[in-house]
Amino acid sequence: MTDRLRIAHCSDIHLGANGAGAADPCRARFARALDAMAADRPDLMLLAGDLFDTNSVGDDTVAFAMEALARLPFPVAMIPGNHDCLADDAVFRRHDFGRIANLRLLADAAGGSAVLPELGVSVWGKGMVEHSRDFRPLAGSPKRPEGIRWHLGMGHGLFVPRGEASERSSPIRMEEIEAAGFDYLALGHHHAAMELVTPSATAAYSGSPTDDVGRGATYAIVDLAAGAAPTLAIRVVG
Ligand SMILES: [Mn+2]
């Protein structure tokens, strides 16, 4: 079953942004988004950073997130963002997300890949340690690994259009997106959805499903198929 692949992509959930416990509206909105994504029956989900609003979120918020992700009937690959980056007190250092059977956290500062052989998938991503001008989310991304059908990537940072200069933190340049050669690149950081499709790249910011900026609370569904152009849809959570 590797001639087609359906990806659900979301980012920027920011759990804990609006208080703790069940009163945090991000919890209910994330749960609704996960239900909507599951109804689309993806083969896997990519979560492109900022699951948490801060590294100081409480244990109950972490437990909520872990349980919500562990319950999904498909694999999940995830990177940290700038709000939950790999600082010394990082939420991803304090809690062992590796014990969630269907989750792969890509937290290596030099970049690393999760291989899902049953899907023919490799997903590459990098663990942000510090949101700075020196952090380049796509630098060092690998060529398509041997024997891999679907070469996927993730990045968390600021989009820089073709030909523009930027002094901002964690820049992701259009030229880098096109050079990386991913079948799909799942991006996070901008809370408004943004498709970045050219003859040589299919990438997107999914937008945040817990924020109403732009087109509203959104996620992305991507369909890849052998011999066909990828299709990318931004879905609004009702
Ligand atoms: Mn961010």
Ligand 1 centroid to residue 82 C-alpha, Å: 5
Ligand 1 centroid to residue 225 C-alpha, Å: 30
Q: For residue 20, what pLDDT is reported?
A: 74
d(CA 6, CA 23): 33
- Residue 122, domain CATH: 3.60.21.10
d(CA 76, CA 44): 6
The parent domain of residue 103 ranges over 4-236
pLDDT at 1 over 60: no
State how beta strands 112-116 and 103-105 pair.
unpaired
d(CA 91, CA 75): 21
Ligand 1 centroid to residue 4 C-alpha, Å: 30
Q: How many domains in the chain?
A: 1
d(CA 10, CA 65): 14
Ligand 1 centroid to residue 224 C-alpha, Å: 26
Q: For residue 21, what pLDDT is reported?
A: 80
Residue with token string 């994330």: 30
Assessment of whether the complete model's pTM goes beyond 0.85: yes
Name the residues around ion ligand 1, CB cutoff 5 A.
Answer: 50, 81-82, 189
Ligand 1 centroid to residue 48 C-alpha, Å: 9
Averaged pLDDT for residues 126-143: 96
Q: What confidence tens digit (pLDDT) does each residue in 197-213 have?
A: 999 999 999 999 999 99
| DSSP H or E run through 192 | none
Q: What residues are paired with 15 via a beta bridge? A: 52
